[in-house]
Structure 1
Amino acid sequence: MINIIVLFILFLSREANGQTNNEVLKMDLLKTEIIKMDSLLFDVAFNQCDASQFKRIIADDVEFYDDRFGLNVSKENEIKSLNQKCIRPEKLTRKLNSCTIDKLGDFGAVQVGEHTFYVDGKPEGTGKFIHIWERKDKDWKLKRIVSYEHRPIKK
């Protein structure tokens, strides 16, 4: 009887390890996907002024909360803002400093991070952000944005 109990316990512990490894793999995949989306959003759309990429990533019902400008709920205004940034004589770019990514059930993911903004290659300021990403079939859409704690770089 004791042998059966020991075998049962070993079986259960092995099964738990399998589930844990599977969850770790799923989280690794999620993090890779969101980092890729962050790169498309900023390295391509924002930094290279690719409005078509920006349009594909931003949800139609986007909500953008910003500590400097308040609330924007218009995808068209976000695209217009990108286009206005891109016609300025100085080049504004963004670099991701750090972020954490967590699953939001079957809905999508939350990304919390910090980034630095550069003007003509020189660091000008930092900011923190929260992005709520929604998975729509196999695509990711940026649904909610909170941009806060913008600070100039001390020179």
Structure 2
Amino acid sequence: MQLALPKSFLCLLLLLGSTAAFSQTEPSKLFETMQGLDTQLFDAANHCDYEKLTALVDENLEFYHDQGGLMLGRQAFLESIKRNTCGVMVRELVPGTLQVYPVKGYGAIEMGTHRFHHPGHEKEFPAAKQLGMTRFLDPGADEWQVGEAKFLHIWQLKDGTWKLTRVVSYAH
């Protein structure tokens, strides 16, 4: 009888160890997926690629902005990108700020801080020149501020496809 207890205990440890190993690898895969989706989303926004944006954003997107208020729907989001950001600014994820959390039965939450470079800041952000933002500052001119804000994105995984369903952009 005493031998059964150590074997049971050993089996329990092995089972818990394999569960812990699985749970540690799963968030890393989810993190990589969210990081990739973030890159795709903002590469599309920075390059004014409305076809790609359409593919990534849910038709019923809800976008909450601390200064701009609530925006409803993918079409309103695309129009806002065309009107306010395309060719006007370039978004960059601040390194080391991305956080990802699973949402059981739905998808994932992505949080972080992003930085917006405006035309005239090409001296600081060389990628802006590659995106066609070539309006360099005149010597001695005041530089445009680089804005930072926090964001929260909620992504839904449905039928094998990730779609951005909710955005909260705050602390501008």
* TM-score above 0.5, yes or no: yes
CA distance in 2, matches of 1:137, 1:30: 16
Deviation, 1:45, is 1.0
CA distance in 2, matches of 1:73, 1:106: 24
2:151 corresponds to 1:129:
yes
2:89 corresponds to 1:92:
yes
Question: Residue 25 of structure 2 aligns with which residue?
Answer: 25
The structure richer in strand per residue is 1
2:40 corresponds to 1:40:
yes
Question: Residue 112 of structure 1 aligns with which residue?
Answer: 111
CA distance in 2, matches of 1:17, 1:101: 23
Deviation, 1:74, is 2.1
Deviations 1:10-36 (A, max 9, x none): 111101111111111111111111110
Runs of 4+ in 1 over 6 A off after TM superposition: none
Question: Residue 171 of structure 2 aligns with which residue?
Answer: 149
Question: Residue 153 of structure 1 aligns with which residue?
Answer: none
RMSD: 1.2
Identity %: 29
Question: Residue 11 of structure 1 aligns with which residue?
Answer: 11
CA distance in 2, matches of 1:11, 1:76: 55
The one-letter amino acid paired with 1:136 is K
The one-letter amino acid paired with 1:25 is T
Structure 2's unaligned 5+ residue stretches are 125-144
Query: What TM-score do the two structures reach when normalised by structure 2?
Result: 0.81
The one-letter amino acid paired with 1:33 is T
CA distance in 2, matches of 1:25, 1:106: 18
Considering only CA atoms, is the larger Rg found in Structure 1 or Structure 2? Answer: 2
Which structure ranks higher in relative contact order (CA pairs < 8 Å, sequence separation ≥ 6)? Answer: 2
Structure 1's unaligned 5+ residue stretches are 151-155
CA distance in 2, matches of 1:111, 1:49: 22
CA distance in 2, matches of 1:54, 1:94: 14
CA distance in 1, matches of 2:59, 2:34: 19
CA distance in 2, matches of 1:9, 1:33: 36
- For residue 161 of structure 2, the aligned residue among 139, 143, 150 is 139
CA distance in 2, matches of 1:136, 1:96: 25
How many pairs were matched up? 146
CA distance in 2, matches of 1:83, 1:71: 17
Question: Residue 77 of structure 2 aligns with which residue?
Answer: 78
